[in-house]
Amino acid sequence: MTDRCRARDFGLAPGIFAPGANNAITDVDGVAVGHVTLIEGDATRTGVTAILPHPGNLFAERVPAGLAVMNGFGKLAGATQLTELGELETPLVLTNTLAVGRAVEALVDWTLARNPDAVSVNAVVGETNDGRLNDIRALGVTRDQVLAALDAAVPGPVAEGCVGAGTGTMAFGWKGGIGTSSRLLPAALGGWTIGALVQANYGGVLTMDGVPVGRELGKWYLKEHTDRGDADGSVMVVIATDAPLSDRNLARLASRSMAGLARTGAAFSDGSGDYAIAFSTHAGVRRDARRRAGQADVADWPNDRMSPLFVAAAEAVEEAVLNALTMATTIVGRDGRTGRRATGHAIDLDALRAVLRAHGR
């Protein structure tokens, strides 16, 4: 089988805008990503991914943020305060469903250690259920591993596939994982950067840059009218931008990212929790002490110039999902529900190349 590679190595380049230097969420200046990957024994296949919006004290210099929920079958900690106040005061952590509590504890500890006057912390933790390959009931993720992911966060290239919170995930019946991508807007449209990172653990009928790959390779939701396994799951989408957006327009940006999931063939099924969080790193919209005291002017990109950012977000999310699939490797684990050995097969890249050639790619 062909070595794992990113979607662009196959000529898959969704959309009209060019990617950034790393084609990753970290192309937004200041954003850092860290992973802890847990592959232990024959049953633990899980991990943690941490996203830091900027290298400063996030609790003191909060970033505006918005949330979009397509289907709320999930355990997104911190969601209501994020929506109410429109800001992030901690990094974002992604992990598995039953590790959310420990991740919250770790984020609170991490934030309190850096802010001796803090008496309330809104830790934001997203999740997907990796129990098809991971013995999720064994509670393999610890507080210290969450702290390690936060401490490991760096800018630059981002590891993809079976890493961090994507270690045990599945997507469209194949091995899923972490994927990332970015888009650069031309100067005439603001010159902004939009980056996306996904924890892909959902299903439907896989489409890759318009090519019906799932149908061609014989794997899709409802093929047998009884197979729900390729649709249920969840997906967490994180979008970063350096555009000076209000929390209201960030919520709009997050909602448009769902178009990127739809283009991949997402079923948005009953058992899938589909969430997107968008934040802005622009210095002019940060909620620092001067802003909270009403002493700072606030930059705000106008509504009628948002459409190019909407397009870029959808494109970046679509490609991030494709990268999660093409970079993932086959993982053998244990189904957390049945206790039986389970295999998450990576999509066959040689077969994928043949499908793409047949469709003129």
Q: Which residues are catalytic?
A: 234, 272, 274
Can you tell me the distance from the alpha carbon of 267 to that of 63, in angstroms, rounded to the nearest whole number? 32
Nearest to 142 by CA among 167, 179, 182, 106: 106
Nearest to 202 by CA among 217, 185, 221, 188: 221
Nearest to 206 by CA among 169, 273, 261: 261
Q: Are 264 and 204 contacting, i.e. CB atoms less than 8 angstroms apart? A: yes
What is the torsion angle, in degrees rounded to the nearest 10, for the CA atoms of residue 199, residue 152, residue 44 and residue 79?
Answer: -40
Can you tell me the distance from the alpha carbon of 127 to that of 140, in angstroms, rounded to the nearest whole number? 14
Burial class of residue 262 (count of CB atoms within 10 Å of its CB; 0-12, 13-18, 19+): middle
Q: Are 142 and 7 contacting, i.e. CB atoms less than 8 angstroms apart? A: no
